[in-house]
C-alpha cells in the first residue's frame, strides 16, 4: 500500500520543467517497477541487472550498442582506431560533454577512470565488487587475490589532448571494444569520485560496505541525474538539463521497488506504474487481453543450476551427473518459464558463435540418476540448495518456482534437499560470488555483448568462489581461444571448449528464457535490447 501511494503521488505531478527550461502540461514522469534495489549506484562495483538498469540512465561509456542489438557503437567516443598489433586504441572523444557536476569529459577523465579500475586493491578486488574489470582485463596493477596474477591486459592510458584518449594494452584483447559497452566501464566524474570517497569501501568481500559515492552521489554524463534513493522503496532520477544529446519527453524517472511479481502486475493494472520487467509467464496473455503492451527481448541469456565443488559431495563428478540426469528440463520450462523459452544444452545461447550441438546433454533419466548415486555411495545424499528470494531476473522470473520444480526432481531420485533461501541483493549474490559457502544454486546470465567468452569465460575462465574448482587445462583452453585471430578457428575452438565444459559438468544449463516487459498503452517507443541497453530519454508518454 505504501508503494502504491508513493507511485500515485509521483503520477499526480501536474507539470514539470523540461530540459530546455520550459514548462509543459504533458506528463513527463515515467514510473517503472524494479524487482529489487540496485546493489550499487557505482557501476564499477556492480554486475546485476537492477544496478545496471539505473546506471544506464545516469552514466555513459566510450562505447554503446546499436539499438536493438548487442553490437558495439560509438557513444562518448565518436570513433576509434586500433593498431595492427591490436595493442593501441586511439579514441576520438565527443566534444562539449560535461559530467553532472560540471567536470569536463575529456582525455584526462578517461584515463582517470581506467587508472582507477586498474588500481583497485584489497576488498575492491573481490568478485562481488570489481567483477567485470577482472573478468575482462584479467588482473590489476597489483594483486591482493591469489587467483589473479597482477598482469592484466591493460597497460596504460594517455591523453595527448582533451579530445583524445589512447589506451595501450599489454597483449591483444579482441573483444575490448565490445566489452567497453558494459555499464561497469562507464565514465564517471573524477571530481566526484575523489570528493565522495568512491573507493573507500568498508567490510570484507562477503559483506562490503559501500561508500557515500555509491549510495548518494553517482555522477556521470547521461541524460538523467541522481535525485534520491529510499532503500526498499524507490529511486528517483531527474532530467539532465545540460545533456549533450537529445532530451526527450521523460524528465523524471521513478524506479519503484516491488519485489513480488504479482504485486508488479497489480500495480500496472491499477495505473500506479507505467511498466515493469520480468513479466511472469502466466501473466502475459492476461495482460495482453486487458490491453496492456507486452514487449519481448531476444533471449540472449542462460539459466543454470550451479554445483559448487567446494562441497565434497558435489566434487564427485558421478554425483553431478546423477543430478543432471534427475532434472526434467522440459517440464521445468513448461511449468515455470515464459512461452518461447528453449531448453539449454550449452552455457551459451544457440545464437552465439561457438555453441556446439555435440555436447553431452544428460537427458532426463531418473533411473540412471539413482544408479549413479548408488555407484558414488550417495543413495542417501543430503545437499544444500541455495536460491534467491524477493527478486525476478530476465533468465529466472520466478526463482521459487524453479527451485520447487528442481527440488521435486531431486527428491524423486532420493536426494534430500536442504532449502537455503536468501534475499537477492546484496546477500545472495555476495554469498555466491564472494564466499565458498553454498551448494547447489540457481543463477544465470544475460549476455553483455555477442562473444562466447562473455559467457563461458566469465563462468569458467579462472578459479572462482561460485564454482569451487581448479582446472588449469580448461582455463587455458578457454583463455587461448579468447585470443584466436581467425574467426573460423576461434569458433571451432569455442565449440570444443563448450564440449569440454559439459564433460566436466560444473553445473547444468537449464534454459534460455524469453524476457518480457509489460507497459501501459500510453508508453511509446520503449527501446528493448537483448543486452538491456535501454535508456529512457527516447520514450514518449501519451496522455
Homologous superfamily of the 1-37+231-297+515-543 domain (CATH): Periplasmic binding protein-like II (3.40.190.10)
Residue ranges per domain, the chain? 1-37+231-297+515-543, 59-206, 301-512
534: closest CA among 53, 178, 29? 53
508: closest CA among 280, 308, 298, 297? 308
pLDDT in tens, 105-129: 999 999 999 999 999 999 998 888 9
Are 224 and 537 contacting, i.e. CB atoms less than 8 angstroms apart?
yes
pLDDT more than 90, % of the chain: 74
210: closest CA among 198, 201, 220, 219? 201
* Cβ neighbours for 412, distance < 8 A, ≥ 6 positions apart: 326, 366
pLDDT in tens, 187-207: 999 999 999 999 999 988 778
Does 3.90.76.10 match the CATH number of domain 59-206?
A: yes
Are 524 and 442 contacting, i.e. CB atoms less than 8 angstroms apart?
no
Three-state DSSP class for residue 438: coil
* Cβ neighbours for 264, distance < 8 A, ≥ 6 positions apart: 33, 35, 258, 273, 276, 278
pLDDT in tens, 41-85: 999 999 888 999 999 999 999 999 999 888 899 999 999 999 988
pLDDT in tens, 487-520: 788 899 999 999 999 999 999 999 999 989 999 9
**416-429 in b/e burial notation, b at 16+ Cβ within 10 A?**
ebeebebebbbebb
Residue 265 has a CB neighbour count (10 Å cut-off) of: 22
Q: Which three cell numbers stand for residue 25?
A: 502540461
Q: Which three cell numbers stand for residue 165?
A: 584518449
Mean pLDDT, rounded, for 368-383: 97
The CATH class given to the 301-512 domain equals alpha beta
> Which residue is it, cell 598482469?
151
Amino acid at each position: 500500500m505504501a508503494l502504491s501511494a508513493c507511485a500515485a503521488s509521483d503520477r499526480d505531478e501536474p507539470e514539470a520543467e523540461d530540459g530546455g527550461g520550459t514548462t509543459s502540461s504533458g506528463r513527463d514522469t515515467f514510473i517503472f517497477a524494479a524487482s529489487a534495489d540496485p546493489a550499487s549506484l557505482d557501476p564499477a562495483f556492480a554486475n546485476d541487472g537492477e544496478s545496471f538498469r539505473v546506471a544506464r540512465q545516469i552514466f555513459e561509456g566510450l562505447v554503446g550498442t546499436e539499438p536493438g542489438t548487442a553490437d558495439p557503437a560509438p557513444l562518448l567516443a565518436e570513433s576509434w582506431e586500433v593498431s595492427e598489433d591490436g595493442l593501441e586504441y586511439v579514441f576520438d572523444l565527443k566534444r562539449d560533454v560535461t559530467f553532472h557536476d560540471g567536470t569536463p569529459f575529456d582525455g584526462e577523465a578517461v584515463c582517470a577512470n581506467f587508472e582507477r579500475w586498474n588500481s583497485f586493491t584489497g576488498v575492491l578486488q573481490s568478485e562481488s565488487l570489481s567483477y567485470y574489470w577482472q573478468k575482462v582485463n584479467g588482473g590489476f596493477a597489483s594483486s591482493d587475490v591469489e587467483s589473479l596474477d597482477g598482469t592484466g591486459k591493460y597497460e596504460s592510458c594517455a591523453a595527448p589532448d582533451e579530445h583524445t584518449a589512447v589506451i595501450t594494452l599489454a597483449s591483444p584483447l579482441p573483444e575490448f571494444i565490445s566489452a567497453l559497452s558494459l555499464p561497469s566501464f562507464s565514465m564517471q566524474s573524477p571530481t566526484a569520485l575523489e570528493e565522495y570517497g568512491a573507493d573507500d569501501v568498508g567490510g570484507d568481500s562477503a559483506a562490503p560496505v559501500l561508500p557515500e559515492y555509491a549510495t548518494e552521489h553517482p555522477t556521470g554524463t547521461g541524460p538523467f541525474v541522481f535525485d534520491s534513493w529510499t532503500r526498499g522503496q524507490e529511486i528517483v532520477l531527474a532530467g539532465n538539463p545540460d545533456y549533450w544529446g537529445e532530451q526527450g519527453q521523460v524528465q523524471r524517472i521513478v524506479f519503484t521497488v516491488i519485489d513480488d511479481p504479482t504485486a508488479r502486475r497489480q500495480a500496472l493494472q491499477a495505473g500506479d506504474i507505467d511498466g515493469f520487467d520480468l513479466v511472469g509467464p502466466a501473466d502475459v496473455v492476461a495482460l495482453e487481453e486487458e490491453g496492456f503492451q507486452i514487449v519481448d527481448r531476444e533471449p540472449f541469456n542462460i539459466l543454470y543450476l550451479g554445483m559448487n565443488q567446494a562441497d565434497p559431495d558435489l566434487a564427485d563428478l558421478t554425483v553431478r551427473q546423477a543430478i543432471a540426469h534427475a532434472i526434467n528440463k522440459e517440464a521445468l520450462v513448461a511449468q515455470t518459464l515464459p512461452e518461447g523459452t528453449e531448453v539449454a544444452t550449452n552455457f551459451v545461447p544457440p545464437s552465439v558463435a561457438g555453441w556446439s550441438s555435440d555436447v553431452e546433454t544428460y537427458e532426463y533419466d531418473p533411473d540412471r540418476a539413482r544408479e549413479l548415486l548408488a555407484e558414488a555411495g550417495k543413495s542417501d545424499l543430503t545437499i544444500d540448495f541455495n536460491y534467491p528470494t524477493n527478486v525476478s531476473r530476465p533468465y529466472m522470473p520466478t526463482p521459487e518456482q524453479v527451485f520447487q520444480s528442481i527440488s521435486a526432481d531431486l527428491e524423486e531420485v532420493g536426494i534430500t534437499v536442504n532449502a537455503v533461501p536468501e534475499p537477492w541483493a546484496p546477500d545472495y549474490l555476495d554469498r555466491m560470488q564472494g564466499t565458498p559457502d553454498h551448494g547447489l544454486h540457481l543463477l544465470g546470465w544475460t549476455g553483455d555483448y555477442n562473444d562466447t567468452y562473455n559467457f563461458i569465460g566469465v563462468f569458467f575462465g579462472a578459479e572462482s568462489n561460485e564454482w569451487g574448482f581448479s582446472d588449469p587445462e580448461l582455463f587455458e583452453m578457454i583463455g587461448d581461444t579468447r585470443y584466436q585471430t581467425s574467426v573460423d578457428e576461434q569458433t571451432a575452438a569455442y565449440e570444443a571448449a563448450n564440449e569440454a565444459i559439459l564433460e566436466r559438468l560444473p553445473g547444468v544449463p537449464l534454459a534460455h528464457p524469453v524476457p518480457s516487459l509489460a507497459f501501459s498503452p500510453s508508453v511509446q517507443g520503449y527501446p528493448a535490447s537483448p543486452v538491456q541497453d535501454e535508456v529512457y530519454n527516447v520514450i514518449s508518454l501519451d496522455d
